[in-house]
Structure 1
Amino acid sequence: MKRIIIFLCCLHIILNAETTISVDSLFSIGNRYFSVEKYDYALDAFLAILDEVEHPDLYYNIGNTYYRLGDVGQAIWAYEKGIQLSPIHKDLKYNLDFVNARVKDRIEVPKGILFIEIYRTIKRSIKLKDLLLWGGLMILLAAIAILFKVFGILDVLFAFRMQVFLLIVSTLIHVIALDKYWEISDKNEGVIISPIVNVRSAPIDRNEKIIFRIHEGLKVDIVQSQPGWFEIILLDGKKGWVSHESLLRL
């Protein structure tokens, strides 16, 4: 509580001096606190920015700060949020893998057929809007090929083959985009942020309802929610209820 009051007082003094605190300024303040190992103050600065804007680098710094403070679950949540915004952010992915190695209940996803794994990797690595952009570009190029054929700029056979190729590529891209859209629409995940969580057979806080325990940092699927409770399911099929305060939604 003391650190929050001090931090807010500093902001109040700066504001009274008629100085506008920009997001960049707060980011620099957070980085300076982080560099001198004042992680509590750094986190306050980064979270203040999060109230205004989301950015992969911001979530990267928040995750690093939570990790330094020993909050593995919160760190994983921040890295996951950052990867949602930038699936190809190498530092986020590296740190997420590093911190995930510390999760006690880590469940390995069984690997499938090589072709399917390649497809999933491609789908995870590209944003939906980028897929739609590339798909639209392929259609545009196919239309240009038609115009070039009409005006005799391209050989008829070559133009036809180009049209077919571009339309096939565009179709494949849009199929991947549609699959990704369905995945995003259906996805409802969260990260366990409490050190140890009792998973119950029903949304009732009684000891006899405990069916198993999970630990901080585990990523889970959320099946449904009720006031004060989430029903979750793990990768291995285990299902149960956890309290709202033990989980952060992604």
Structure 2
Amino acid sequence: MKRIVEILVFLIVTIGFAQSSEKFQRANSLYNQEKYQEAIDAYKSIIDAGQESASLYYNMANAHYKLSNIGPSVYYYEKGLELAPNDEDIKNNLVFAQNATIDSIDSIPQGFISGALKKIINLFNYDGWAWLSVLCVILFVVLFILYYSSRTSVKKRLFFVGSWGVLVLGVFGVFFAFKQYNSIKNNQFAIIFSQETVVKSEPNLRSEDIFELHEGTKVQVSETVNDWKKIKLSDGKIGWIPSEDLKEL
């Protein structure tokens, strides 16, 4: 009975993947025919079904960009980068989409060390760093066994240094995985979807207007009060906007 259940589960999963692949190809066909809104609807049906991939978000963003939907295009390029942080196509198209936004916001300069560390951490997502750590532990065990079984001093020295080298790399991998996970968990970002929104000093309509933001601008969400979000810009400015004016990544 257990075996039958396992087979049924396998068949259901296989059929689900096949259907998603078929829908994805159909959506790509619509995109190639320049039926961008129909392609968007097709991509969205895949996302709504719980499927996601960097290529799916990338194509969804491209379709929105073709229709000049700047906010959604930036949003889905950012979603794609979360899954494939080193994808050059997504990075390049994201720059094009960001250049189409109205707001020009300067970032607070980072120190050399913190900037370099951030670049290293962003080489992989936290799953990538975790798998690298697992691989390093396996290599450590293999090299340590080879160290004990070797009979020449040269090989012993080589395997000993190599084993501890990959172990140190594995420890750094765990550290970088936790750093990136905590960064994502503690730094919730969002994209402005409203064509124009007024940032308030407090979470109510009666408070003072501070500045305006426009579609496609990326903000950091730090707090939620009722239907308001407290946001922070890369230049340090903070304020409150209605939740309906943005979409969290």
TM-score range, shorter chain: 0.7 to 0.9
Name which of structure 1's ranges 130-139 and 59-68 shifts more when overlaid on structure 2. 130-139
1:4 alignment partner in structure 2: none
Matched, 1:60 2:58: yes
Matches within 5 A, 1:153-164: 155=153, 156-164=156-164
User: What one-letter code is carried by the residue in structure 2 that aligns with 1:219?
Assistant: K
1:166 alignment partner in structure 2: 166
Deviations 1:4-29 (A, max 9, x none): xxxxxxxxxxxxxxxxx922332233
Note the residue ranges of structure 2 that are not aligned, 5 or more in a row.
Answer: 1-17
Post-superposition shift, 1:108?
3.5
1:151 alignment partner in structure 2: 149
Name which of structure 1's ranges 120-129 and 149-158 shifts more when overlaid on structure 2. 149-158
Return closer, same or farther for 1:113/1:205 CA change in 2, 3 Å cut-off: closer
Return closer, same or farther for 1:29/1:136 CA change in 2, 3 Å cut-off: closer
1:246 alignment partner in structure 2: 245
User: What one-letter code is carried by the residue in structure 2 that aligns with 1:49?
Assistant: I
1:17 alignment partner in structure 2: none
Q: How many residues align?
A: 229
**1:148 and 1:154 in contact (8 A); partners too:** no
**2:191 and 2:218 in contact (8 A); partners too:** yes
**2:106 and 2:235 in contact (8 A); partners too:** no
Matches within 5 A, 1:1-250: 22-52=19-49, 53-152=51-150, 155=153, 156-206=156-206, 209-250=208-249
Post-superposition shift, 1:226?
2.1
Deviations 1:104-135 (A, max 9, x none): 22323355444543332232131212211212
**2:108 and 2:235 in contact (8 A); partners too:** no
C-alpha distance in 2 between matches for 1:108 and 1:237: 9
C-alpha distance in 2 between matches for 1:41 and 1:73: 18
Note the residue ranges of structure 1 that are not aligned, 5 or more in a row.
Answer: 1-20
Name which of structure 1's ranges 144-153 and 218-227 shifts more when overlaid on structure 2. 144-153
The share of aligned pairs that are identical, in percent, is 28
Return the TM-score normalized by structure 1: 0.83
Post-superposition shift, 1:153?
5.1
Return the TM-score normalized by structure 2: 0.84
Q: Please give the secondary structure, in 2, of the residue aligned with 1:231.
A: strand
C-alpha distance in 2 between matches for 1:146 and 1:25: 47
Return closer, same or farther for 1:233/1:112 CA change in 2, 3 Å cut-off: closer
**2:187 and 2:222 in contact (8 A); partners too:** no
C-alpha distance in 2 between matches for 1:113 and 1:228: 36
Return closer, same or farther for 1:63/1:164 CA change in 2, 3 Å cut-off: same
C-alpha distance in 2 between matches for 1:136 and 1:199: 45
Q: CA RMSD in A?
A: 2.0
C-alpha distance in 2 between matches for 1:44 and 1:236: 36
2:14 alignment partner in structure 1: none
Name which of structure 1's ranges 81-90 and 152-161 shifts more when overlaid on structure 2. 152-161
Q: Please give the secondary structure, in 2, of the residue aligned with 1:105.
A: coil
C-alpha distance in 1 between matches for 2:139 and 2:29: 49
C-alpha distance in 1 between matches for 2:240 and 2:128: 37
1:3 alignment partner in structure 2: none
Q: Please give the secondary structure, in 1, of the residue aligned with 2:135.
A: helix
User: What one-letter code is carried by the residue in structure 2 that aligns with 1:218?
Assistant: T
C-alpha distance in 2 between matches for 1:84 and 1:182: 14
Return closer, same or farther for 1:143/1:26 CA change in 2, 3 Å cut-off: closer
Post-superposition shift, 1:179?
1.5
C-alpha distance in 1 between matches for 2:45 and 2:235: 37
